[in-house]
Chains A and B, each alone.
Chain A
Amino acid sequence: MTPKRYLYTTWRLTVLFTRRYFRSRTAIFFSVLFPLILLVIFGGIFGKTGGSKPQVTIIDQAHSQFSGSFTKTLKSADVFNITDTSGLSDARTKMGRSELDGIIVLPEGFGTPNQQGFPSGQAQVQYDQGSAQAGQTVASILNGVLGGVNTQVTGISPPLGVVSKSTADVGLTAFDYSFTGLIGFSLLGLGLFGPINTLPALKKTGALRRFRTTPVRPLQFILAYMASSVAAGIVSIGSLFAVAIIFFGFHMRGNYLYFAIFALIAAVMVFGFGMAVGGWANDEKQSAPLGNLVSLPMMFLSGVFFPRFLMPEWLQHVSGFIPLSPAIDGLRMIATEHKNLLELGPQLGLMGVWIVVIYFLAFRVFRWE
């Protein structure tokens, strides 16, 4: 078989599988819609408690022109998420329910000119004892804003000060950390559950037996199937990114190209596991137990649903060797820590080892029927 013919066959098979894929409602549901639904749920959970801006309300007791314009300044400064409340007691109830991180009170007389003729006064930050940290954050942000106002009204910039600079460009949210886990879930859906569910079913109907009567080689079939899964993965992960950025303010730190290359390598690795199980199994009775054995650790110990860095240390060490772990770790490091591919050597190395092992196995056990 000439290389040209070899590739031509592989290409036409890829087209066949890809078309079939996008016609299948179940496949689209599990690989595109289901991760999106999870994303919306996750985004909803993390968007609330882990938003980068504290949730506050402003109680203006001064009712002066100064306090009014100060409130406006705060609103337009976009450092807080400001909710309106009907009064201090309403605000306290809301804080008790963790709807608010702090209450900013502008007391009576806030903004009254002092002896030098400058507006003066002490804004007050009230916070719940249970979330003191959030309260401190509100206070320090407010302090910074007041410092700016002071400089403006007095025209004197303070000789000494602190410039705080976050290690990342913008504050990272919990959502940013959990997002790569969802990418991992999408990889599992396409690369693992796809072949595990599809191939035994095709063997059962005899659709694969038909391939065997032709000169097509298992490798061509596997490559075409892989390529069509990658095509579906681009749509799936692309829509996850779109929804994450548009609706949940996802911050992408790193380089999209690095992310894409790394995700592709991860997809190839995960697909190897799906191919090994689905290519070997003749029916669901064989594929289901083995599929669960492979998929459950990846699903629960690799950081799909809870980040691995939140696990106990010993578990982090153990779970680090699960194939999907370096994939999700690496994607997270690119997305949140600006890492490039060279810095991800350990993750790429571990994935490389898994790729060699699993494809060696997958070719050995592949069966057409």
Chain B
Amino acid sequence: MSSAATNVTRDSNRWERAVPVYGFPVVNGFFISLSVLVLIALVLTAYRELAGLGPVSGMNDAYGWGIWKTFNVMVMTALGSGAFAVGIAAWVFRRKRLHALMRMALLTSFLAYACGLLLLGIDAGRPWNFYWIVFPWKWNMHSPLAEVAICMSIYAMIPLAVENIPPVLERLWYFDSRLRPGVEKIEKRLHYFYPYIIAAAYLLPGMHQSSLGALMLLAGERVHPLWQTPWLPLLYLGAATFMSFGCVAGTTMLCCLVWKRGMDMEVLDEAAQITAWLIYGWLGLRFLDIMFRGALGTAFHFDRFAGVFWIEVLSISVGAWLLQQSLKTHDKRAMFLGYVLSSAGGMIYRFSPTTLAFRPNPEALYFPATIEILVSLGFISLGVVGFLLAVKRFAILPAPLHEWHDMASYFRFRRPYIRWTGYFKFGYFGEDEPKPTSGD
């Protein structure tokens, strides 16, 4: 076992294994400020439940939906579709390298969906009636919103949650050798159901991410013609795929930068290539649709809609171009910027039909109230707090193999007073603990 540790080539950056982020405290200034934001949001949520939506938000009769739905749900779950898009690439199209990113994808998806759903419950005026969700014969099967509400909650609570169990089980396995038979039994059972769960984890987001687009179909001409199209569901789904690649790969790059991890350019190049192709396809569909509907002229009017449209399109295409460039030059900075720009453009796209390009009547105005923004930020912070906790306590972030052994020696020599970390008890890593000698 220890020979494996010494034979590792230290300069290899190949991501072989998910390793917890060690040597950095969980609680730091950033973490505390995020937690404060979460606390503020929780207090304000209590106020919202008592006072109603009017006093806490800028929503009005014309703009019935505020940023809680249109940003925290529509935009953030698109960023959190990594488990869907990266998962399909890895599991269905057998891009084997992308398996290295799967745990990051699953975690970010779970957090984005969980926080979005929490805010969806707060945004609903009469949330106690959500119990109808357990009676399928009461659903309005043809309502896009029913599809979204039902499908999203099932997806986050069953397939996504189950897919996030393996890192937890793994930690239990390392935590105490007495737990291992039990953990292995659960894992075996889990693996039996895995194909069914994973398949559901691709079908359900495919359904509700497209239904999110179908939501605005019913709004008809009140959505600006640059956005309103029968292809809205497909475009929403497409935006979710490249945005989530950007979110997963971009977040992983950022984490590697912050916590000084090696970056596996083979994996990242493959992800960037896929993202670039997804964006090209999406942009092609978007422009073809606009041209065939004859709405291209409105893109050259001098108004805010055309402005939003060009910012969105330019940021997405420049992002794709940067990604393509980074494949040739292996410039990590360009790649990261490409992910940021393309995802930001995608965020604008997903935000537009409900808010930026929604024109219920000429005099209607909507701008989120302070409380609304604070609650929205608080629930995003909740996701980030969960993410920080998870990557520092569970093996999520991919790393070169030597990182695992470095972690062991770090705790053995640098922090000997830490009795256990979950993964290394008394300095052992992975191997079976020696049997206690009887009698002594």
Does A associate with B in a complex?
no
List residues of B whose CB falls within 8 A of some A CB.
none
List residues of A whose CB falls within 8 A of some B CB.
none
